[in-house]
A and B are shown apart, each in its own frame.
Chain A
């Protein structure tokens, strides 16, 4: 065998592995088609679609621009308020949980249990929490705040842990050489590093929470979701259009702002 030929056969043979995975994926894909049943599709689908689109593009401007408690601006403010308060409460709760699930901070059984708890908290759908909290607080935005707080915990804690594990510990060495105590090392070596990372994570989650808060109204937990759903089930598509336009603009603006602030926090 010549050198070139040997090199040819020596090339890492991922092909078989790759084909295997592709075939499995393909089978799964085909199998998943069986879930789609087309019997329910009404022939009038396209007509309905065009009505909806027409409605959305001729929004109810009065609803969009009135500042009463029924108007879109007020509802958006309420949604923002739910997201802000929920994010702050969630972040406060997530910090201790993050340290409890960092295996370099606590014994590994505790870390493991906390992680399991976090996975559980993360997986339960927000709407379920919403319904559970309504039992505590009654219908309204208060339940939404608690729901947002709870569903934020899982992701926040996970990202906090990543930040804790990414800490640059070399600074501690030089603080030792300056003669700092452990408390001083944490205050001036670790907190400044974590602060901007945590803040950036929290802002990112706020961005997501705003989206979550906008559908919580579905179960009566406040925010713009409830009027949206009502309008939809009553086929009042111009109202749907007004609400969606407000929501989309709000989410885009917040996203733009949050990306900017986070870029500044992380890169300086």
Chain B
């Protein structure tokens, strides 16, 4: 299409051969990018002057958070642990449920086309729902508290791990699966002994990675009433009690840092 509007440039070599050079797409990409940026600035009321004028306000809050209010710690402890529990429970359950769902979504093990594409569409729909929205809906159904948060994390984990898992299953070496089938196993058994061992290290690694991210996410779920430390964060910010917010953030950073270290350690061993 593009080549028809802008015909390729012809370069003649001294020995008479002619080479056609396709026109670079760079100019049109640049124009599009420029337009996108221009309209984005229009749409979002972005104004550099405001930013240059008032950026100090941002650091004003940052400096109010330092030093954090250390004796707020006892209040933080329980919600923080709740946050971790929520993400752990949601991640484990989500990852486990992801296995059968991913099995159904893999076109190389399940032969029913409709079932496979149906499951795939279901997973991508789940994945596009923002976790915060799922959590909010969950609070309407399961009431305020950690259960709603756990459900939201469960759904996100199921969608995320499920997608990565079925992609791995579909890329697996099928030879051993066929060999197992020829030994007289049914598809389920062959999956268990031929495919699952191949994808399980990656699966565990993905699940761990997802758990890492979930701890981070779980921290804000309290914002919509879905339990955990987000509730305190919401209160602190609402009352402009920035030293307490600073303490919460400080604890959160430390927790996330340690969980990341631990999970990274195990993920490295897995691969």
Considering only CB atoms, which chain A residue lies closest to B81 in the complex? A35
Residues of A within 8 A of B51 (CB): 136-137, 146
B142 contacts A40, CB within 8 Å? yes
* B82 contacts partner chain A, Cβ-Cβ < 8 Å: yes
Give Cα A40 to B145, complex, Å.
7
Most B-side CB within 10 Å, residue of A80, A81, A255? A81
Residues of A within 8 A of B42 (CB): 81
* A252 contacts partner chain B, Cβ-Cβ < 8 Å: yes
Q: What interface size band does chain B fall in?
A: 35 or more
* A95 contacts partner chain B, Cβ-Cβ < 8 Å: no
**Main SS at interface, chain B:** helix
Give Cα A84 to B36, complex, Å.
8
Q: A84-B37, A137-B54, A222-B44 are in contact. Are A247 and B128 (CB under 8 A)?
A: yes
Question: How many of chain A's residues have a CB under 8 angstroms from any CB in B?
Answer: 62
Smallest CB separation, B21 vs chain A (Å)? 18
Residues of A within 8 A of B237 (CB): 128, 131
Most A-side CB within 10 Å, residue of B55, B86, B133? B133
* A7 contacts partner chain B, Cβ-Cβ < 8 Å: no
Residues of A within 8 A of B81 (CB): 35
Q: What are the interface flags for B223-239 relative to A under an 8 Å C-beta threshold, 1 for contact and 0 otherwise? A: 11001001001000100
A125 contacts B37, CB within 8 Å? no
Considering only CB atoms, which chain A residue lies closest to B82 in the complex? A35
Most A-side CB within 10 Å, residue of B81, B84, B142, B252? B142
A45 contacts B147, CB within 8 Å? no
A35 contacts B257, CB within 8 Å? no
Q: What are the interface flags for B10-42 relative to A under an 8 Å C-beta threshold, 1 for contact and 0 otherwise? A: 000000000000000000000000001101111
B44 partner, pick from A52, A141, A214, beta carbons under 8 A = A141
Q: Which of B83-142 contact A (CB under 8 A)?
A: 84-86, 88-89, 92, 124-125, 128-130, 132-133, 136-137, 140-142
Q: List 13 A-B contacts (CB under 8 A).
A: A31-B85, A32-B84, A35-B150, A40-B144, A40-B145, A81-B39, A81-B42, A82-B40, A84-B40, A232-B136, A244-B133, A252-B124, A255-B124
Residues of A within 8 A of B (CB): 25, 28-29, 31-38, 40-42, 45-46, 48-49, 52, 77-78, 80-82, 84-85, 88, 119-120, 123-128, 131-133, 135-137, 140-142, 144-146, 211, 214-215, 218, 222, 225, 228-229, 232, 244, 247-248, 251-252, 255
Residues of B within 8 A of A (CB): 36-37, 39-47, 50-51, 54-55, 57-58, 60-62, 81-82, 84-86, 88-89, 92, 124-125, 128-130, 132-133, 136-137, 140-147, 150, 216, 219-220, 223-224, 227, 230, 233, 237, 245, 249, 252-253, 256-257
Besides A132-B58, A251-B128, 15 new A-B residue pairs in contact (Cβ under 8 A), listed by A number:
A35-B82, A36-B147, A37-B146, A40-B144, A41-B143, A48-B141, A49-B141, A85-B44, A123-B249, A124-B253, A126-B220, A133-B58, A136-B55, A211-B130, A215-B130
